[in-house]
Structure formats: structure tokens, C-alpha cells
């Protein structure tokens, strides 16, 4: 079959076979992975849940992994990473994504406002190391906050579908109860599985007035909260995904307990190490395009786009490695860690690296 496709590809040169097939049906492809939206739900304010039917190239996902979704907005293709919420699968062609419309989020807001049955999107194979191990741990602690619920929800649903008999605690942080997606299903799982403990927290900032009284603050993650939710946490494998403050709180406690190797985390927001733009010096040279510009201190991806280039990218936060390019020379700073790197001829992720002085990138 592959040989036949290669032959047809040759006969249809200069355009790939998929370019002709999509004229007949956008979801019909020989090689490229795509998916058709079959159902759209806005059950949770500010979020949309999409049911997708992937093309035959789809090979499923491990619980917790992410996929890249590509859409065309005003004639420009944009890709973002989202985690399927389905139980782990290897052959099922249907998958679900719950997408929160973040302020300023181009793709998330587009999908929230425009997704409808029949729409076809680009789809990349599942990827990422944040997933349940093949040999399930005896005890599992799942912690999430906000839109970080999606990968751990896939883990929870997988353990439920497999009839997992170990201990599970799922602790989710949200602004208010109606902001918790798929809450009815979570309640159903908790009722069916005596070994599954599902709890929610709605943090209240100090000074907030509730029923006429000023709160001193409550509901935030700390050691006491951890002990209450999962007193056996030291013997468990912990998975955490959510906003930076929650992630830091979890890692701080586990590191203090000497249990840092028992935590696996996924971050869907880019936490940067601040830099002063006024201190930016040097010239950024995109030697593959004969373009050069004064260094503004922004990431290499942002500076490339500001210079009129259109480099490939996906998540824009250092997860998917779609934006990797070779740094020919110069020093760069990782905006997530602050780490400097001056090694020449080295592949780097341009979405999370900013130039320090003169830098040459093969773009």
C-alpha cells in the first residue's frame, strides 16, 4: 500500500497527493493526519469540548499525553497543544478535547467561538512523557488546577475503565464549582469506585468578603491539605498539572520531603524568568533568510515573527519541539530557567530561548 501511495505521489507532482484529495473531502488524506469535529459542547462557561473523529492514521494515545491541533485563521495556519480527556486507547479513532478559551488565546478563542460539526482540523500524533506508566502504580495521586484537569482526567478515566484496584485521590482546584468540567462524570466515578477519592478546592484570597465576613484565605495547596487528601502520598506516584503557583507549591513540599522523584508534572503555561528589554544588545541574524534585526530581548520565535518570518511552531512553551532550529553562534537564555547557553551549532527551541548579544540562527 505504501509503495502504491509513493507511486501516486510521484504522478501528482509538484503537489502532494493530499492536496488533491482535500479538494474532494478535507478529511480525506493519504498520509497527513487530520480529524473531523463531530460534536461540540459548551457545558462549562468559557470552555468548549470537542469530539473528533481522526483519520485512519491515528494510533491512539497514552493517558496524559497531548496532541497538536492545527486550524487556519484568516488564512494563516496555527497549531496548539491540547490533552485528550479520553481513556487511553490504541485503536479508537474518536477522541475528545476540552479547550479553555484563555484571554488572548488565539486558537482557544477561535475554537470556542467557531468550532462546529463538520469542521476539519489538522492533528498530530500523541506525544509527551507526562502519562501513566505501563505498569500502573499501586497508589496514584492526581492534582490539577484550571485547564490542567485535561491530562489527569484522561488518567482517571483510564484507571476507571481498567477497573484499577489501588488507591486513587484526585484533587482539583477551580475558581468555583461550575468551572469544573465533566463534574457529573467525576461524581459518577466516585460513586462507583470506593477506592477513588475525588475532591475539589475553591481557593479564596485573604480579604475576600463572603456572606458579609472577610475571609483570611483558604483552600490553597499546602502540606496539611496534602495530608488530608492523601495521607499515603509518600508511597504514591503523583501527577500534577495546573497553573504555576500550584505546581510550585506541590514541588516545594515534595522536595522538602525528599520525594521529588515521585512527582511527574506537565505545564501548559509558559513561566518566564524576567529580563529587562532595555538591557538587550546585539543583532539577531536569521542566516537562512538573509534577515537581521536589533535584539529586542524577546524570544527568538517572537523576534523572527516580528521580522516577517514564519517559522514552524506548536505550543509556544517548550513542550512540543516543533520550533527547533540550529543556533549557529552566540549566547541564548532559556526564558523558563534563566540558563545561558553559548555552544555553537546546537539545536534549540526558539519559543523559549532569547538572544544574549549577537546570535545567528539558521532560519
Q: Cell triple for residue 208?
A: 475576600
Q: Cell triple for residue 125?
A: 500524533
> With 0-12 CB in 10 A as exposed, 13-18 as middle and 19+ as buried, what is 131?
buried
pTM (2 decimals)?
0.76
Q: Are residues 5 and 56 in the same domain?
A: no
CA 245 to the chain's CA centroid: 17
CA 321 – CA 331 distance, rounded (Å): 20
Helix (H, G, I), strand (E, B) or coil at 356: strand
Q: Are residues 254 and 157 in the same domain?
A: yes
Domain end marker among 84, 107, 127 = 127
Residue 281 lies in a domain: yes
In 193-332, which ranges are continuous DSSP H helix? 223-229, 244-256, 300-306
Q: Cell triple for residue 332?
A: 541564548
Residue 55 lies in a domain: yes
Residue 132 lies in a domain: no
Q: Are residues 145 and 260 in the same domain?
A: yes
Q: Are residues 179 and 260 in the same domain?
A: yes
**What is the residue range of 341's domain?**
277-362
Asked if pLDDT for residue 209 goes beyond 50, the answer is yes
Domain end marker among 239, 266, 293 = 266
User: 57, 31 in Cβ contact below 8 A?
Assistant: yes
Q: Cell triple for residue 239?
A: 501527577
Q: Are residues 245 and 349 in the same domain?
A: no
The residues with which 349 forms a beta bridge, in sequence order, are: 324
- Radius of gyration over every alpha carbon of the chain, rounded to an integer in angstroms: 23
Q: Are residues 166 and 238 in the same domain?
A: yes
Q: What is the CATH number of the domain that holds 159?
A: 3.40.50.80
Mean pLDDT of 287-299: 93
Q: Tally the domains of the chain.
A: 4
334: Cβ contacts below 8 Å, ≥ 6 apart: 273, 340, 341, 352, 353
Mean pLDDT of 155-180: 96
Residues 56-89 pLDDT 10s: 999 999 999 999 899 999 888 888 889 999 999 8
Residues 101-150 pLDDT 10s: 988 788 999 999 999 999 999 999 998 889 999 999 999 999 999 999 99
Q: Are residues 144 and 262 in the same domain?
A: yes
Residues 7-32 pLDDT 10s: 545 555 554 544 444 544 454 454 68
Q: Are residues 158 and 243 in the same domain?
A: yes
Q: Are residues 347 and 315 in the same domain?
A: yes
Helix (H, G, I), strand (E, B) or coil at 347: strand
Residue-averaged pLDDT of the chain:
87
Domain end marker among 62, 97, 127 = 127
Structure letter (DSSP) for residue 282: S
Q: What is the CATH number of the domain that holds 44?
A: 2.40.30.10
* Cis amide linkage into residue 259, ω under 30° from 0: no
pLDDT given for residue 219 in this prediction: 84
Residue 133 lies in a domain: no
Amino acid at each position: 500500500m505504501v509503495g502504491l501511495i509513493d507511486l501516486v505521489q510521484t504522478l501528482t507532482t509538484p503537489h502532494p497527493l493530499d492536496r488533491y484529495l482535500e479538494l474532494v473531502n478535507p478529511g480525506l488524506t493519504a498520509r497527513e493526519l487530520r480529524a473531523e469535529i463531530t460534536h461540540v459542547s459548551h457545558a462549562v462557561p468559557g470552555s468548549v469540548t470537542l469530539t473528533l473523529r481522526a483519520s485512519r492514521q491515528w494510533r491512539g494515545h497514552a493517558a496524559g499525553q497531548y496532541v497538536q491541533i492545527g486550524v487556519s485563521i484568516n488564512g494563516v495556519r496555527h497549531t496548539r497543544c491540547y490533552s485528550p480527556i479520553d481513556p487511553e486507547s490504541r485503536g479508537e479513532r474518536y477522541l475528545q478535547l476540552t479547550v479553555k478559551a484563555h484571554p488572548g488565546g488565539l486558537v482557544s478563542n477561535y475554537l470556542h467561538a467557531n468550532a462546529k460539526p463538520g469542521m476539519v482540523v489538522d492533528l498530530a500524533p500523541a506525544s509527551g512523557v507526562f502519562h501513566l506508566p505501563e505498569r500502573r502504580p499501586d497508589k496514584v495521586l492526581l492534582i490539577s488546577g484550571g485547564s490542567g484537569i485535561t491530562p489527569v482526567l484522561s488518567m482517571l478515566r483510564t484507571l476507571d475503565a481498567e477497573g484499577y484496584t489501588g488507591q486513587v485521590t484526585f484533587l482539583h482546584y477551580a475558581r468555583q464549582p461550575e468551572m469544573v468540567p465533566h463534574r457529573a462524570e467525576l461524581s459518577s466515578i466516585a460513586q462507583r469506585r470506593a477506592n477513588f477519592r475525588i475532591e475539589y478546592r475553591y481557593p479564596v484570597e485573604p480579604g475576600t468578603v463572603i456572606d458579609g465576613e472577610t475571609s483570611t484565605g483558604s483552600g490553597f495547596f499546602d502540606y496539611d491539605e496534602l495530608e488530608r487528601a492523601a495521607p499515603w502520598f509518600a508511597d504514591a506516584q503523583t501527577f500534577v498539572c495546573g497553573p504555576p503557583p500550584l505546581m510550585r507549591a506541590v514541588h516545594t513540599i515534595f522536595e522538602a520531603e525528599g520525594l521529588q522523584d515521585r512527582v511527574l508534572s506537565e505545564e501548559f503555561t509558559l513561566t518566564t524568568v524576567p529580563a529587562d528589554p532595555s538591557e538587550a544588545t546585539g543583532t539577531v541574524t536569521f542566516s537562512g533568510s538573509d534577515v537581521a534585526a536589533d535584539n529586542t530581548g524577546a524570544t527568538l520565535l517572537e523576534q523572527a515573527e516580528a521580522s516577517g518570518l514564519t517559522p514552524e511552531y506548536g505550543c509556544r512553551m517548550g513542550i512540543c519541539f516543533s520550533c527547533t532550529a540550529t543556533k549557529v553562534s552566540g549566547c541564548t537564555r532559556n526564558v523558563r530557567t534563566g540558563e545561558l547557553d553559548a555552544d555553537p551549532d546546537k539545536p534549540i527551541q526558539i519559543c523559549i530561548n532569547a538572544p544574549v548579544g549577537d546570535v545567528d540562527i539558521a532560519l
